Chains A and B, each alone.
Chain A
Amino acid sequence: MTMRPITFFRAGSIDEAVAAVSSHPDSAFLAGGTTEIDLLRLNVVQPTLLVDVNDLPLTYLEDVDDGGVRIGAMARMSDVARAPRIVERYPGMSQALLLGASEQLRNMASMGGNMCQRTRCSYFRDGQSPCNKREPGSGCSALTGINRGHAVLGTSEQCIATHPSDVAVALVALDAMIRTIGPDGTNAIPIERFFLRPADTPSIEHPLAHGELIVAIDVPALPVARTSRYVKHRDRASYEFALVSVFSAMRVDDAGNVAELRLALGGVGTVPWRAHRAEEALIGRPATPENFAAAADAEFADARTTPMNEFMVTFAKRAIVRELSEVTS
C-alpha cells in the first residue's frame, strides 16, 4: 500500500470548489466520502488534492414550478428518503434509498455523491488486477474471474462491472436531470446520458468536465410515480447490493391496457438500467403476465452472460413479471 500526501481544502462556495478542482489536474471533490475514502485507501483513486464540498449550501429539497422536486447535491440519502414530498410523490425512490447501504452510510452519503458511486467489482477495487476502468488498456479480469454479481446488460468486451446504486435506478426511470456547475458554467444533463456505458472507455463513467460539480438533481412531476415501487433481491436481508432490483411505476387504463409505464433495473446493468424495450413492448398492450414475460424477454434479448451470472437473466425476468403482476393485482 502506497501512502501519498493529500492536500485537503474545504470549499466555502460553489465557485471556490469548482475553481479549486478545475485548476488542479489531480484533484477531486469530496462529498459524503462513503465510497471515495475507501477507494483512496485502496489506491484505486489517487488524487493529490481533495476539495470538500460538505459546507456548500446544497442540502436543500425544494419544489419546482411544474410540481417536481429539486434535490440539492449534498442532501443526505437518509434525509431525502424520509422527506414527505419524496415519500408522497415518488415512494419508489424513497424505498430505493432506504434499501441501499446501511443507516449509518445513508446518514453520511450525499445524493450527488451517489450519482458518482463507483462499482463494487472486486477487480476494480483490489488496486492491482488488470482493470480497464481503473487502468485503461490493462484488460478486464472480471470477464473470466468471479463474476457472479457482474452485469449482463450494457456490457462490453472491456468491462462488465455492475453499477451499484439503488436510487439511481429510480432516477433513470423518473427521467431526472443532473444539474452541474463547472468551469464553463451551468449544465443540465438528462440522467440517462449522465451514466455512460463502458463501451471502449470504461474509465469514463460520466460526461463531466474536470471540475464540474453536481449541484442538484431535478425530478420532474410525474403523477404515475405516486404509486411507484422499488423491490430489491439480494443475498442477505439487509446491507447488501442487489442481485436484481426493479423500480416500477405503472398505470393501467380501464380497458386493462398499460397506459403508462416507467421500469428500471438495478444489479444487472453496467449503468442504472432503464428498461426501454420492456416499456415499449407493454405500453398500449394488455397488462397480463404473458405480456409482462414477453416484455422481460425483450429487455434481456441482448443480455451477455457468463457461466456464473447467467442465472441473473432468469431471476431478473422473474422479478419483472412478479413486480408488474403485483402492481396490477
Chain B
Amino acid sequence: MTVSTVAPATVEGGVGTSARRPDGILKVAGEFAYSSDLWADEMLWGATVRSPHPSAEIRAIDITAAVALPGVYAVLTAADVPGARHYGLEVVDQPVLAIDEVRYEGEPVAIVAADHPETARRAAARITVEYAVRAPVTDPEDALSRGDLVRHVPVRRFASAGGTALTADVVVTGTYEVGMQDQAFLGPESGLAVPAEDGGIDLFVATQWLHVDQKQVAACLGLPAEKVRLSLAGVGGAFGAREDLSMQVHASLLALHTGKPVKMVYGREESFFGHVHRHPARLSYEHGATRDGKLLYVKARIVLDGGAYTSSTPAVVANAATLGVGPYDVPTVVVEAYGVYTNNPPCGAMRGFGAVQACFAYESQMDKLAAEVGLDPVELRRRNAMTTGSVMPTGQLVHGPAPVADLLALVRDRPLPPAATGDPRERPGGVANTTRGEGVVRGVGYAIGIKNVCFSEGFDDFATARVRLSVVGGEPAVLVHTAAAEVGQGLVTVQAQIARTELGVTKVTVATADTSVGSAGSSSASRQTYMTGGAVRAACQAVKATVLARVGRAGELALVDGKVVASDGAVVASLVDLLGNDVVEETVEWRHKPTRPLDPVTGQGDAHVQYAFAAHRAVVDVDTELGLVRVVEIATAQDVGKAVNPQAVVGQIQGGTAQGLGLAVMEEVQVVDGVIRNPSFTDYLIPTILDMPPMAVDVLEMGDPDAPYGLRGVGEPPTISSTPAVVAAIRAATGRPLTRVPVRPEHIAL
C-alpha cells in the first residue's frame, strides 16, 4: 500500500483547509433534521415511567388502568424483555426496565406506546408502582467503606534512588471537590424504531457509537446483531452523554411488540435523568518538592461517585489515576483512585473523562506549591514540565511531541488584555452592576492539562471505512461510508477532506453513518479524526493503489484533480477514462498501535495511545464585595499535531473552554439525598455569550509520527485546563483558597 503523509497542496477542500461543513447552513437556519424530527407514517409515541425514589424495592406494578386507556398499544415492564434484561458499556449491570428494585431517581420502570405523545404520558401516569422505599446511599465515602466499589486503580511508581519514603523539603497538601456537571447537550435523547419484515428492527437514533448500541440492543431484544440495524439520526450534541443507552431498547421493544414504528423523545427535564453526568469527585493531594520547586513526589487519593450503575466509571477511574499528576515529571507517584456505587444519578462519560477532576486538583496544588517556594506559577510548571522522552507515572515512555513548556510560554507571553475602560458592559455582573471599579480586582491564572487520546488499557480499538470511487455524471466521485457518529464536531467534513486529499477528487459524498458498514468505535476519547480519519485515509489509499495498478508504475504516479499524473507532472490518464463504468471500492479496518492493561497492583503499563496537551491563561475581574466574576479573556495554546480543519479545531477549543468555564463558576447538578433538584436549563446554569470572553487561541502543529497526518485529538484537552485556570485567576484576585468548583459568589466574597 502506498503511504504518503504529505497532502497535495492543490486539493480544494482537502486536509488542512477550513472546508465548509455540509450541515452548517442547515443548522444555522434551523432546517437541520435532528433525531427529534424523525417521522414515520402510523408511528406510535413511547413514554417512560421512572422511579421517583433513589432506592426502593418494587413490590408491585399495576398496568391495568394504562392498558385500558384508548389509544394505548402497549405497556411493557421488565418481564416483557425478551432477551438479556440488562445492558451496559463495560459491565452489563443496568436493567432495561427495573427488576424488583430501583437504584436511582429516574430509573426506567415501565414503558408505554400510544397513538399520541399525550396519550402515552397519560397512560404512563396511570401505571401504579408500589415501592418499599429504602434509605439511599449517597455519600461516596460511605459507599467505599461498605465495599460498594466499582474499581480501584492504584498507580505506584518510585524514584530509583528514593526508596518508598515520601519526604521532601517542601510539602503542600490540599483537598478539592468537583461538583456534578451535566453535558447539557441541546438535543434531548430521541429516536425512532421501525419494525422490519424480517422480524428485526431498524433504529434511527442520535448516538455516539452505533455498533456498541447495536450489540446491546440486539442482546436485549434476543435478536442476532444483523437483525438490529442502526442509522445515525441528527445529533444535537453529545459530550459523552450519548455513550450509554437511553431510549434505544425501549423504543425497539415497543416497536416489535406493536408492529408499528415507535418514536421516543425525552423532554428537557427527563433528559437530566436520561443520561449519565460527570463524576463528582473528592481529591486529596500531597505534593513534595525541593526548595527550588522541583517535584519529588505526588501522593493522591481520588474518590469518584459513579452513581447507581457501572457505565464507564472503570475507565474514568483509570484516567483520573494515570493522568492524576498532570503533564509533569514526577519521580515518585502514589495515586489511589476509586470509583464507587451510590444511589446518586449514574455518572459516566463526559468530555475530559476523569482528567478534568484530577486537573482541577493537581493544578490547584501546583499554584500552592509555587506560592510556597516563591516561584511564578508558570515558572514552577516549566521547571517540572514533561517533554518527549519523559516517563509517565505508569512507566509509559512519552514518544511523541510533549510541548508542555512551549504551550505555557505561549499563553504567558500573550499581551495581557487592557484594563477595564469603565464601560458598564465590562463590569463583573455586566450592565446590571453598579461598581465603577472600586472593589474590582483583576487576577490572572494559569493551568495546563494532559489527556489521553483513543481507547486505552489494551482495548481492541479500531475503525472501519468503505471508500468507493466511480464516475458519476461524467465526473470522478467518491463515496465515503463509515459508522462514525457526527455529533456536531465536524467529522463528516473531515472525512470528505481526507478523501479529497488522498484521491485528488473534489466531489466527495459522505454516506449517512449506519451499521451496514463495520464499527467506527465511539465519537469519544478525542479519537474519531484519528481513528475514522485513519481508516478513511487507509481505504482511500487502497482505492488509489487499485486504480494506479491499472496504469502500472503505481509508485511513480499520483492522483491530482481527477487525473493520474506522473512524477514529472504529465497527465497519464483521466480518472473518467480510466474507470469508465467501473466502481473501485475498498473497505479497511484500521487500528492504532496496541496498548497494554495496567498492572492491577502497581498501575504500570503502556496503557495509552497518545497524549494531548492544552494550556490556558485566564484573566478575570472580580467584584470582591459581591463575589461577581467577569472572565475578561482566556488565552489558550494547544498542540493538535495537524489541524485537519483549522476552523473546526478553533471551534472545538472555544467550545471546550466554555464548558470548562461553566464548571469553574456555575454548572452543577444539585443532588440532595439522591434527588436532582435542578433538572432544567433555568436552574442548571450554563454560560451565555455574555459570560464567555473573547479567546486568544494558539494552535501548535507538532506532528505525532504515529498518527494520521501527525494529528492529535482535539476535543477534550481544552475542557480540562480552562476550569483550573479560571479558578486560579479568581484566587489571584481574592486570595481565597477556593477548593471546590463551581465557585460561587459567596465563596469569593464572604
* Cβ-defined partner of B688 (8 Å) among A233, A236, A323: A236
Hey, which bits of chain B sit against chain A, CB under 8 A?
Answer: 52, 118-119, 121-122, 124-125, 429-436, 439, 625-628, 630, 665-666, 670, 672, 677-678, 682-683, 685, 687-691, 744-746, 749-750
Known contacts A2-B122, A145-B672, A326 near B626 by CB under 8 Å: no
| Given A3-B125, A231-B434, A315-B749, also A237-B630 (CB < 8 A) | yes
Does B678 lie within 8 Å of A315, measured CB to CB? no
Closest to A243 in B: B745
A236 touches B685 (CB 8 A): yes
Q: Is the interface of B mostly helix, strand, loop or mixed?
A: loop
Q: Ordered nearest first, which 9 A-B pairs have the shortest CB separation?
A: A237-B690, A311-B746, A3-B122, A232-B432, A237-B430, A2-B125, A238-B690, A326-B434, A238-B688
273-291 of chain A: CB within 8 A of chain B = none
Residue among A120, A233, A240 making CB contact with B685, cutoff 8 Å: A240
**Nearest Cβ distance between residue B723 and chain A, in whole angstroms?**
16
**Least Cβ–Cβ distance between A85 and chain B, in angstroms:** 22
Does A328 sit within 8 A of B, measured CB to CB?
no
Given contacts A3-B118, A315-B749, contact A233 B628 (CB under 8 A): yes
Residues of B within 8 A of A318 (CB): 625-626, 749
Within 8 Å by CB of B429, from A3, A145, A234, A326, lies A234
Which among A128, A239, A245 has the highest number of chain B CB atoms within 10 Å?
A239
- Asked whether, in the complex, the Cβ of A1 is within 8 Å of the Cβ of B124, the reply is yes
**In the complex, chain A residues whose CB is within 8 Å of the CB of B627:** 315
Partner of A231, one of B122, B124, B432, B746: B432
Give the size category of A's interface with B. Answer: 20 to 34
Asked if A122 is at the interface (CB within 8 A of a chain B CB), the reply is: yes
A236 to B664, CA, bound (A): 12
Residues of chain B with a CB closer than 8 A to A64's CB: none
Say whether A322 contacts B429, CB under 8 Å: no
Q: Give complex CA distance A3, B69 in Å.
A: 12
Scoring A128, A145, A236, A311 by chain B CB atoms within 10 A of each residue's CB, the highest score goes to A236
Closest to A96 in B: B432
- Chain B residues whose C-beta falls within 8 Å of the C-beta of A128 in the assembled complex: 52
Determine if A99 is an interface residue (Cβ-Cβ < 8 Å).
yes
Shortest distance between the CB of B736 and any CB in chain A (Å): 14
Q: Which residue of chain A is the closest to B685 with respect to CB atoms?
A: A236
A77 at the interface (CB under 8 A from B): no
Query: Is B436 in contact with A326, judged by CB distance below 8 angstroms?
Result: yes
> Which residues of the partner chain B approach A311 to less than 8 Å between Cβ atoms?
745-746, 749-750
CB of A319 closer than 8 Å to a CB of B: yes
User: Are A235's CB and B750's CB within 8 A?
Assistant: no
Task: Tell me if B121 and A314 are in contact (CB < 8 A).
Answer: no
Q: Give the shortest distance, in Å, between B122 (CB) and chain A (any CB).
A: 4
Measured CA separation A322–B626 after assembly (Å): 10
Contact A236 B666 (CB under 8 A): yes
Residue of B nearest to A241 (CB): B682
A146 at the interface (CB under 8 A from B): yes
Q: Can you name the residue of chain A whose Cβ is closest to the Cβ of B270?
A: A1
- Do A233 and B670 touch (CB < 8 A)? no
Residues of A within 8 A of B439 (CB): 322
A3-B122, A238-B691, A240-B685 known; 14 other A-B pairs, CB under 8 Å?
A231-B433, A232-B429, A232-B432, A233-B626, A233-B628, A237-B429, A237-B688, A237-B691, A245-B432, A311-B750, A314-B749, A315-B746, A322-B435, A322-B626
Of A237, A238, A239, A314, the contact of B750 (CB 8 Å cutoff): A314
Report chain A residues within 8 Å CB of B688: 236-239
Evaluate whether A233 and B672 lie within 8 angstroms (CB atoms) in the complex, with A1-B124, A120-B683 already known.
no
Contact, CB under 8 Å: B685 / A122: no
Most chain-B CB neighbours within 10 Å: which of A3, A145, A232, A245? A3
Query: Within the assembled complex, what's the spacing in Å between the Cα atoms of A245 and B682?
Result: 18
Query: Given A231-B433, A311-B750, do A122 and B625 touch, yes or no (CB 8 Å)?
Result: no
